[in-house]
Amino acid sequence: MSPNDQIELRRMRRKKKSNSTMKDVADLAGVSVSTVSHVINGTRYVEDSTKDKVLSCIAELKYSPNIIAQRLNGLNLKTIGVLVSNLQGSFFHRLVSSLSTLANKNEYDLLVCDSAENTELEKRHINTLLKKGIDGLIFAPVDHKTHYTELDQRTVPFVQVDRVSDSCKSDYIGINNYLQAQLITRTLIERGCRRIGFVRTEGSRYRGERLSGYYQSCNDAGIYDEALIIRVSTDSSNEKEILEWYRKQSPVDAVICSNADICYKVLHSLDRHLTTESSTVIFSFDNNKWFDLLQFPLLSLDQPIELIGRMAFETLLSRIEGNDDPFKKIFVDCDIVNL
Amino acid sequence: MSPNDQIELRRMRRKKKSNSTMKDVADLAGVSVSTVSHVINGTRYVEDSTKDKVLSCIAELKYSPNIIAQRLNGLNLKTIGVLVSNLQGSFFHRLVSSLSTLANKNEYDLLVCDSAENTELEKRHINTLLKKGIDGLIFAPVDHKTHYTELDQRTVPFVQVDRVSDSCKSDYIGINNYLQAQLITRTLIERGCRRIGFVRTEGSRYRGERLSGYYQSCNDAGIYDEALIIRVSTDSSNEKEILEWYRKQSPVDAVICSNADICYKVLHSLDRHLTTESSTVIFSFDNNKWFDLLQFPLLSLDQPIELIGRMAFETLLSRIEGNDDPFKKIFVDCDIVNL
DNA sequence: TTGAAAGCGGTACCAT
DNA sequence: ATGGTACCGCTTTCAA
């Protein structure tokens, strides 16, 4: 076996199941690869007869360009990274599915990662996403105080959603967590609530603008009581914990839940206590279609997740296309709904 | 952000701020690229002194290999594609988040696509996923009768979940839709139900093994009535439609919903009718944590979504690693739960 | 109007 | 023990 054969063999083995390449097309059509390339991309004039020939060869070989190779030459991969802090939760589910719809429309794909409220994992994801060559990133930081060095180098544009990191500058789309929390708390106070509980997520290392807003309003009204704040972890079941807390702090006029999944936990724990002996109002920071079917005294913030998704996506797209305007923080409006 | 920062930023972006390459490292260390490559991959012996030098240069330049270039040479991208038929729904949400956890553990990333029950989109997604160089695909077909030519070429291993296509051979993980539907229907019949409705999804072009199972059991019991089947679209609201159908077909002893989101619609439409004047049992093909908090006469199938995700992921991984065993259809068990 | 060839950032074979 | 270099598939000058 000649050396050439050996090489050929190796080549076959390595690309055993590979698709046809531009060279194949060029050979078949009897033109050069550059001509093929230009036919495909319309990057320069090609005589109609050659163009036709090339086109028909492309069809014959069912050729389609290798995006990886294109990307290596600096082109867009048409992929955007989505890095959220908790994919399990319904908020990010809705966000991701809204983004996915937009991606479909714009011929992008989504590289979806879950940092699971873990800064180490988050860091790893940012690195691999960057290395995999995404064109942009939609990002919900785990922690307000992490410094995202890789992102600061801005090899790629990104926008933040839902939460903001103190240190990394970018566009932000979401509600104004602080103000909304303040507003909500005030609303409850106006309804006559005095003892207002706040359930925050255990796992999250996020500072909690929501908590600050809550604190502010309580303090203004002179009803702040630290004992009314409880941390609940996202994963484990903490029914007993919550129930105990609730009993010990009784009477609790209202409970503010930092998101719909926490709200579920609270409802589940307090279940019969809510329907019968008490008049505690439950408030959730995001809602969920299932809320409609529930029988509890429930209030919630109606975050326009679709809108957030859309604005984030569009902002990112414009950045990808080179928009260099100063960064914007866009706070979307949302209503308190009474269920 | 100051104007100066913005300018600096723009400058960096324009310069394409490319990361350092292997050549940079090689130059700095005064060795050849092959040596650097071998140091990194441990693919051949390198003297300790050189190795150290290279390593420190790598650190100094914060070099990290370009995955795209690696992939071009035939290596794994460590990315797996996930193509589901409806990302909005809670079933696939749970599946994706379970897959995401596994991906995290195995240092893979997920390219998540939604075919939105649309075969055209599905085809497009399969093509781009393949072109983007995924190492494997987890796939829930939109339609049982589409022929997936690209997949048949097996450039990449894939496993099907939740639904199976007639024509493309691969591993399958999920429940046995036909048998479970049969079982469920029979259970309802044994409970004394005679008029059993079936709500199927409008958008789906899927044949519906579930429907067949339902049909079989009804027929066996001599209680089949075509008028008891209704199609409901996933997106639009069809409350009136459902309510009308329900009234017209009254009495309806049970309603089988093809998934939890359809079930939501049904519950929403029939709301007060269920709690008061009737004793209709609602059955859902997958459940959801919110079911616990509902007050309706509800039964559901407890699909072990985590398990399905895990088996799918592990199966795919083994295929990626070259496992060549005959394809398996794995039907997971699941219980009917009474809420 | 078209072709040749130099990259892009690696891997791996061939030498030495 | 290491260096040189062809090659992966494509884009993009530069020449002709």
List Cα–Cα distances, A36 to A26, A29, A75, B72, B266, in angstroms. 6, 9, 17, 20, 55
Task: For residues B133 and A180, give the distance between their C-alpha atoms in angstroms, rounded to a whole number.
Answer: 44
Question: Which amino acid appears at position A303 of this protein?
Answer: Q
Give the pLDDT band of residue B62 (cuts 50, 70, 90): confident
Residues 6+ apart with CB under 8 A from A288: A90, A260, A300, B290
Burial A83-108 (b: 16+ CB within 10 A, else e): bbbbbbbbbbbbbbbbbbbbbbeeeb
Does residue B17 approach strand C to less than 7 Å at its CB? Answer: no
Distance CA A224, CA A216 (A): 9
Within 7 Å: CB of A155 and strand C?
Answer: no
Asked if A316 and A278 sit in the same domain, the reply is no
For chain A, how long is the longest CA-to-CA vector? Answer: 91
Read off the CATH number of the domain in which B241 is found. Answer: 3.40.50.2300
pLDDT tens per residue across span B302-319: 999 999 999 999 999 999
- A209-220 helix and A177-190 helix, angle to the nearest 10 degrees: 40
Determine the structural domain holding residue A30 and report its residue range.
Answer: 3-72
- Structural domain count, chain A: 3
Query: Do A196 and A151 have their domain in common?
Result: no
Asked if residue B14 has pLDDT above 60, the reply is no
Same domain assignment for residues B150 and B213: no
The reply to whether A32 has its C-beta less than 7 Å from any atom of strand C is: yes
Q: Within a domain: residue B269?
A: yes
Claim to verify: residue B191 and residue B290 sit in the same structural domain: yes
Total beta-carbon pairs less than 8 A apart between chain A and chain B: 144
Q: Of B27, B55, B72, which residue constitutes the final position of a domain?
A: B72
Whether the pTM exceeds 0.85: the reply is yes
Distance CA A213, CA A232 (A): 19
Contact A280, A255 (CB under 8 A): yes
**Banded model confidence at residue B207, pLDDT cuts 50, 70, 90:** low
For residues A334 and A304, the answer to whether their CB atoms sit within 8 Å is yes
Beta-bridge mates of residue B298: B282
Residue A181 shares a structural domain with residue A296: yes
Q: Which of A15, A77, A154 sits opposite B13 (nearest CB)?
A: A154
Strand pairing report for A79-84 and A109-114: parallel
Average confidence (pLDDT) over B167-195: 92
Distance CA B216, CA B199 (A): 16
Last residue of a domain, one of B57, B72, B87: B72
More reliable by pLDDT, B206 or B276: B206
Q: Does B247 share its domain with B190?
A: yes
| B222 & B265 share domain | yes
Per-residue pLDDT tens digits for B209-231: 888 999 999 999 999 998 999 98
Q: What are the distances in angstroms from CA B154 to CA A20, B150, B171, B221, B269?
A: 14, 7, 13, 44, 45
Please give the torsion angle defined by the CA atoms of residues A183, A185, A190 and A193, in that order, rounded to the nearest 10 degrees. Answer: 170
Residues of B in contact with A83 (CB under 8 A): none
Q: Tell me what pLDDT residue A75 has.
A: 78
Average pLDDT across each block of 10 residues of chain A; the chain has 339 residues. List them in order.
34 48 90 91 89 90 86 84 94 97 95 94 91 91 86 84 86 94 94 92 73 93 92 79 88 91 90 71 91 88 96 95 90 88
Residue A339 lies in a domain: no
Q: Does B111 contact A116 at a Cβ distance shorter than 8 Å? A: no
Q: Mind giving me the DSSP string for A250-313? A: -S--EEEESSHHHHHHHHHHHHHHHHTT--PEEEESS--GGGGG--S-EEEEE--HHHHHHHHH
Candidates B96, B109, B150; CA nearest to B309 is: B96
Listed as own residue / partner, the contacts of B9-16 with beta carbons closer than 8 Å and 24 or more positions apart are B9/A154, B10/A324, B12/A153, B12/A154, B13/A154, B16/A74
For residue B87, give the chain A residue with the closest CA: A97
Are the beta carbons of B79 and B250 closer than 8 angstroms?
no
* pLDDT on residue B18: 56
Flag whether pLDDT at B39 surpasses 60: yes
Amino acid making up residue B86: N
CATH of the domain at A50: 1.10.260.40
pLDDT tens per residue, range B237-262:
788 888 899 889 888 899 999 889 99
Cα separations in angstroms, B258 against A120, A166, B18, B125: 40, 46, 51, 25
Residues B168, B97, single domain; the answer is yes
Chain A: residue nearest B271 by CA?
A: A293
Which of B42, B72, B102 is at the close of a domain?
Answer: B72
Q: Is residue B339 part of a domain?
A: no
